[in-house]
Amino acid sequence: MKIAFLGLGAMGSGMARCLIAAGHDVALFNRTRARADALEGDGARVCGTPREAANGARAVFAMVGDDAASRAVWCGRDGALAGDLAPGAFAIECSTLSHDRALELAGQAGERGLRYIDCPVTGLADAAVAGDLTLLVGADETDLAAARPLLAAIASRIIHFGPVGAGTAYKLMVNLMGSIQIAAAAEGLLIAEKAGLDMAQVADILETSMAASPQVVRNLRQMMAASHDRDIVFCARWRAKDTAYGVALAEKLGTSAGLGRAARRAFALVLDQGDGEMNESRVIDAMRAANI
């Protein structure tokens, strides 16, 4: 199948490689062209605009950072939606967007006669490379059934939550829970520090306690090692963005999101201190400096 893939960060590069390995004819666009050039040797074609990449495509994937980047690759004169797409082509948005943007993009794709798959992913970069992601899908059942063979190249699990927007709603909810857990772990360690506890012992016991989760354990280790500038799994900028989008959805739905708002404030501190490109575990230093 002729496919366009837009956005080649740590996740997108792995996903695009899986589609190429599955035998698809893949056209690439990335704002930083060097990332796309790195995949050209695998058989992909590098294009100068999203519109060029989308010309003739039967499916367009996007994996970008936020709402602004989504609008940049899909909309406008050079956006993918302006391309000469095949009739009934799929528009597959894998980015973690705000709920409002996901619904907006679905409407824009529908106006072009495209089949929209709301398809945020869960899994880290190594899972993307291995084609082992989990897809959190909101889509028409018939459209999803038609897209499944294509999606199988990038995922080992496809979960259908309901109509368009449902996949994004779940992704924002679960990421907001993760943000709260990470901020709570940072707060707990700061309390332990001030109480004069043996921090190595605290960390060791926490990892096997009822308060542990994969999010907590991974960030706990980096908080203890203060290794926020290396082995970056998920940077604070994206964590702050996901947290803000999750709170916005909660407020739109009429919930108070008190814990979410507290986590949003904590991760905003990291950005205020100019450390958004560091690992999300940097939140402990931001909270320590702000004495919160």
- Per-residue pLDDT of 80-128, as tens digits, reads 999 999 889 999 999 999 999 999 999 999 999 999 999 999 998 999 9
Looking at 1.20.1250.20, 1.10.1040.10, 3.40.50.11540, 1.10.287.130, the CATH number of the domain 169-290 comes to: 1.10.1040.10
Pick the catalytic residue from 2, 171, 194, 241. Answer: 171
> Quick one: what percent of the chain has pLDDT higher than 70?
100
Backbone CA torsion sign across 32, 283, 183, 243: negative
Residue 288 has what pLDDT? Answer: 95
**In the predicted model, what is the mean pLDDT of residues 44-67?**
97
> Could you tell me the pTM of the whole model?
0.95
Residue 262 has what pLDDT? Answer: 97
Within the chain, all domains assigned CATH 1.10.1040.10 are found at 169-290
Kindly give the interhelix angle for 199-206 and 166-194, rounded to the nearest 10 degrees: 150
Q: What's the Cα-to-Cα distance from 43 to each of 31, 34, 38, 46, 152, rounded to whole Å?
A: 19, 15, 10, 10, 20
Cβ atoms of 236 and 287 within 8 Å: the answer is: no
Cα 216 to Cα 28: distance, rounded to the nearest angstrom: 36
Within the chain, all domains assigned CATH 3.40.50.720 are found at 2-163
Cα 190 to Cα 263: distance, rounded to the nearest angstrom: 15
Q: Which of 169, 182, 192, 189 is nearest to 248 (CA)?
A: 169
**In the predicted model, what is the mean pLDDT of residues 222-247?**
94
Please list, residue by residue across 248-257, b when 16 or more beta carbons sit within 10 angstroms of its beta carbon and e when fewer do: bbbeeeeeeb
Q: Which of 229, 204, 230 is nearest to 217 (CA)?
A: 204
Cβ atoms of 154 and 92 within 8 Å: the answer is: no
**In the predicted model, what is the mean pLDDT of residues 53-76?**
97
Cα 8 to Cα 26: distance, rounded to the nearest angstrom: 13
**pLDDT score of 292 more than 80:** no
**pLDDT score of 188 more than 80:** yes
pLDDT band at 231 (very low <50, low <70, confident <90, very high): confident
Q: Which fold has domain 2-163?
A: Rossmann fold (3.40.50)
Backbone CA torsion sign across 274, 228, 35, 174: negative
Phi, psi for residue 201 in degrees, rounded to 5: -65, -45
171 is catalytic: yes
**In the predicted model, what is the mean pLDDT of residues 43-64?**
97
